[in-house]
Each structure stands twice: as C-alpha cells, then as structure tokens.
Amino acid sequence: EVQLVESGGGLVQPGGSLRLSCAASGFTFSLYWIHWVRQTPGKGLVWVSRINTDGSDTIYADSVKGRFTISRDNAKNTVYLQMNSLRAEDTAVYYCARGSSYSAYWGQGTLVTVSS
Amino acid sequence: EIVMTQSPATLSVSPGERATLSCRASQSVSSNLAWYQQKPGQAPRLLIYGASTRATGIPARFSGSGYGTEFSLTISSLQSEDFAAYYCQQYNNWPWTFGQGTKVEIK
C-alpha cells in the first residue's frame, strides 16, 4: 500500500525555521517526483515545491523561493522541506504528494502555524 | 501563472440529483486537468485526470469533460458520501495551480 506520512509541523515564531519530512513506503520511492502542496482555509490548495527522482532538479513557487528548500534522501525514502524566514502567511496544512503531473497519492498533512 | 476559476463556489443539491461543476483556465491547458474531492480533515482524493479519465476506484457516476480552457465535472446522482469540496488542478504549465474549490452541500 502506498503511504506518504508528513511530520515536523508545529508552532513557530515569525522569522523562525522548521523542517518538514515526508516518509514514503509501499512503492519504489526513487522513481517518483514528490511535491509539497499547502492549504489554508482562505486560499485553498497552493503548490509549493517539487523535486525530481534523484534530487537534481527542484522548483519552487515564487512565494517561497529563496526561503524554502526541498531535498530528498532516496536511501531513507524521505523528502524534506526546510522552511526558513517563516511568515504568518506560511501558516497552512502542508501535504506531500507523489506524481509528475496530477497526484493520486497524498499524505495526511502536517499543520504549520507561524505566530508570535 | 495559469489562474483556475471554479464556479459556483457553493452548490446545493439534493441526494439523487445531478451536479455539474465548472472550471475555467486563464489560458489553454490542453487536457492536462485533474479533479479532486476533499472532505474535512482529509487529503485531496484524485477523481479525474486527463480531463476525462476516472482514477482507479472512482465510481462511474463521476465524469469529466472539456478541453483547452473550459472543463466540467458531473456527478450523475449524488450519494451522501459525495457531499464535499471539489478542486480542479492544471498540470500543463509550472506551477501547478488549483481552482478555489466548489463546495457541494446537501439541499
């Protein structure tokens, strides 16, 4: 069974940092792109970042470029999202999702709250 | 980036009735469009990809159509488990972009 499990969310002050993890199982992890998508009640689903199969190619939404870094460890079947210089508007549920275009597999999400 | 606009924001439908949801792209996305269903506290669930292909395990009452900039999702006879939010997503261009969603509620 394909599973994606996010962790690492929590409460952080503005300007702070947080690292999210997405642990995968049930499939050959190294063959798939992984995305991070976030969701806030007011703005719906917003794509954040994507990493290719070997980590050599990454792209970011303009809103997080220069502050967030996506990476992966294929030996550990895990993707990471390092989030620095966090802002109140980064508050959201963060999902990881598998796929090169649409995504049939999503994790359950991890909540990030940026507040003082 | 491509802006996806869904309408209506809320659709009130009685069980057993037909529901049609619309999604418009600000520029052509060819057939590179997906639909997702999301229930409170859950992750999105893929319903349709390629504008009209049902994902694995999706009941036949869900159907998608459209090409270019105009798309629709039809639920032929609403069941109780279908009351949820629905999102369209284009994957023709980076970044992926999603519509703001249509909430299907019980009338």
Nearest Cβ partner for B43 among A44, A61, A107: A107
Is residue B102 pLDDT above 90, yes or no? yes
Judging contacts by C-beta atoms under 8 Å, the chain B residues touching residue A22 are none
CB contact under 8 A, B94 and A59: yes
State the pLDDT at residue A100: 86
Chain A contact set for B94 (CB, 8 A): 50, 59
Q: DSSP assignment of chain A, as one string?
A: --EEEEE--EEE-TT--EEEEEEEESS-GGGS-EEEEEEETTTEEEEEEEE-TTSS-EEE-TTTTTTEEEEEETTTTEEEEEE-S--GGG-EEEEEEE-SSS-SEE---EEEEE--
Q: How far apart are the first and last CA of chain B?
A: 35
Q: What's the gap in Å between the CA of A79 and the closest CA on chain B? A: 18
Check A101 against B49: CB less than 8 A apart: yes
Tokens 């159509």 identify what position?
B65
What is the Cα–Cα distance from A80 to A44, expressed in whole angstroms? 22
Q: Which pair of structure tokens corresponds to residue A17? A: 């940092």
Tell me the C-alpha distance between B107 and B88, whole Å: 23
Instruction: Indicate yes or no: CB of B91 within 8 angstroms of CB of A61.
Output: no
Segment B4-37, tens digit of pLDDT: 999 999 999 999 999 999 999 999 999 999 999 9
Q: Which two tokens mark B9?
A: 């924001």
pLDDT of B101 above 90: yes
The beta-carbon neighbor of B34 closest among A43, A95, A102 is A102
pLDDT in tens, A60-104: 999 999 999 999 999 999 999 999 999 999 999 999 999 988 999
pLDDT band at A41 (very low <50, low <70, confident <90, very high): confident
**B31: number of Cβ within 10 Å:** 16
By C-alpha distance, the chain A residue nearest B87 is A45
Measure Cα distances from A68 to A20, A58, A86, B89 in Å: 11, 11, 9, 23
User: Cα-Cα-Cα-Cα dihedral of B11, B13, B19, B21, to 10°?
Assistant: 0
What pLDDT digit, counting tens, does each position of B40-98 carry? 999 999 999 999 999 999 999 999 999 999 999 999 999 999 999 999 999 999 999 99
CB contact under 8 A, A102 and B87: no
Dig out the tokens for B16 from the structure: 């057993």
